[in-house]
Structure 1
């Protein structure tokens, strides 16, 4: 498997789900929605269960650039796969609008010690970890696909890391368990 993934633009997506629906969405997502998105040029970098919130699904999706993001999202959300599965996916969700648009500072690197929790820290500066797999900064380009809102006018640094010992939960740090098909696992 590839040890690094490069994307010019990445979405950090956090979905609040109806109680008990996270595994329903993950099963649908991994069975029906990964390959069709990747076939349109998107890269599903990571899919996660939040260890501190049983009703949150977190994922990272990458694109070559903003123009490719627009083309890929248009193809997917106006295409037959989403038309077939959107009602089932949306039925699991309370909110899917917590999205940061980010620019990677370098490639994502596959964890050297698979199977450990992944942390995603959003703050005003990058943080260190035992195994940083990616660092990202806010992307300030206009949202090229307004049907999917993003958090605008924020200036953040995001660090994705594998931790040898899981940090205490904090408002800035998500402690995540990779799903079965997550590239970051």
Structure 2
């Protein structure tokens, strides 16, 4: 069930950012990111929650960062991008890896505590890659994710996904507040629901996808209720956490 957890989230607002990179430049960006853009963003008043390699696209980089509220978001982004030394020093190298950095969803926890868990010690630069995997599923909805949609998610979708081997890590929906740092575009005018599932390793992730595809429960109980609410096929991204990501299991 998607119920309130035992901790109070300090980062209910998140940006879900997906970058298209020039071929062969992802490792360069990840190295820059892990050396220069994690602590500096945290110090500016936001938190880098998770960052990943996309397993199905070698030229895609995916990450989440969180904010206490929308007012803090504007302050933190200004501090990092306009006043921060790290971005001023390394932005040309970072931007040189990117074709597009504007595929961004501005989201909010669907319930208090439904986002990524509390902060834990971050692995140091040079840490080993974790074996874990995550699947981020995005639903484009015909209407905002209301109480009826959350009931469907709790009652039908989460149990079916868990039966197939998924662990629910987080769930978010569209934040409808205006983008208060317009230098960085976000996708607007959409209703989305994003949920993140975790797996121990690549094999368990693959078993989950196979089990879900062949699940009568999924086909007969979940999809008939879910599909009429969607305006397009779900977007499913299989992700490998980078070495310093907080989402590692």
Give me the TM-score of the superposition, normalised by structure 1: 0.90
Maintained 8 Å contact 1:4/1:109: no
- Over alpha carbons, which structure has the higher Rg? 2
Please, what is the CA RMSD of the aligned residues? 1.9
CA offsets 1:129-162 (integer angstroms, 9 cap, x no match)? 3101000000010001000000001101100111
- In structure 1, the partner of 2:246 is 183
State the alpha-carbon separation in 2 of the partners of residues 6 and 53 from structure 1. Answer: 32
Q: Is 1:142 aligned to residue 147 of structure 2?
A: no
Of 236, 240, 243, which aligns to 1:173? 236
CA offsets 1:20-47 (integer angstroms, 9 cap, x no match)? 0001000000001100000111111100
Displacement of 1:171 in angstroms is 5.5
CA offsets 1:27-79 (integer angstroms, 9 cap, x no match)? 00000110000011111110000000000000000000110000000000012
More strand by share: 1
Displacement of 1:80 in angstroms is 1.7
State the alpha-carbon separation in 2 of the partners of residues 46 and 133 from structure 1. Answer: 12
Of 133, 140, 149, which aligns to 1:117? 133
The answer for unaligned runs of 5 or more in structure 1 is none
How many pairs align?
179
After the TM superposition, which parts of structure 1 deviate over 4 Å for at least 4 consecutive aligned residues? Answer: none
State the alpha-carbon separation in 2 of the partners of residues 121 and 4 from structure 1. Answer: 24
Of 69, 73, 81, which aligns to 1:65? 69
- In structure 2, the partner of 1:7 is 11
